[in-house]
Structure 1
């Protein structure tokens, strides 16, 4: 009897969650596909703008998800309009250029959606404290690849890396110079940074690392 009473309690929250997701999906389809004239579109945009402004000062997971939903709704409505209202068959040149632009916009929309999916529900990991004994701290290697950047630009990066708050015997800084420049070598020797070059420049900075 007890098991029979407990089971519905564990199922109901899941059903409620799926129901909310289904309702949200149907609402999104309605918002995206419903036709609007210019005045209605202006009112719709103004309402979304006011809602976004009212939420931007608040924090919390619900607010973040709501802002993501508003962004996806507006972007989806634009994509729907582009596909259904602007892709008329004209000259071959117009069709090719219009299709290319649409594909670029679809690519940007997919990247936006995937980006939101990646940060939809991040894990709240707590930092692990380091041991009190510094001899047990891990060693850190810092790689700074460079090719065409002038020394005035790389100098700042090297100086910043050299003052990282980490035990000096536990950190190694390497300047990976694909330009093979003598002034870089001299500055690294002055700063106490490892200077590394290679005989070719295959695969650019990825190969340099």
Structure 2
């Protein structure tokens, strides 16, 4: 799973202490920095892809995104906030240096349909054929599939989500915190995620856009 991967972590995130992504406690300057980096990177992405396509060639993109206009809304940032909780718990126990968490931020942006549409129009290489939003449960096994007792372990939502996020984030985390803390971090993260999933509905938001090259 991933939102739009940024080329770099945006500048100006020094005030995002205690967070590792956009969050409900992030100051407005952090949200602005992320959005402006998304604008630059997505515009360049569209320009580069347009050079690879013939006239009227088509491209379909799917991002993790959000329906809300709020870039720090739970529907796109909650999954990272819970990982930050696990990291900060380890800071409080002296297992991780606080400064390492304060200067660590995920290079990703989860755009809204309006933000995607705005950048496509502004960049000018494509027209939008179709733009839609869909929802997927954090735990894929809640989507109507049934399993026998032999595979009940796979019905552990916390386990599934933690492993999915580990596949995405582990290289970044290892480069910042070292490999020694990873197993313990994701053990705690699994427990936090499982607790949240038992108390509320948790879903990822996908934004899909179909584009046609102009010319």
Q: Where on the TM-score scale, by shorter chain, does this alignment land: which range?
A: under 0.3
The structure having more radius of gyration, on CA atoms, is 1
Q: Normalising by structure 1, what TM-score? A: 0.22
Greater length-normalized contact order (CA 8 Å, ≥ 6 residues apart): 2
From the two aligned structures, give the one with the greater helix fraction. Answer: 1
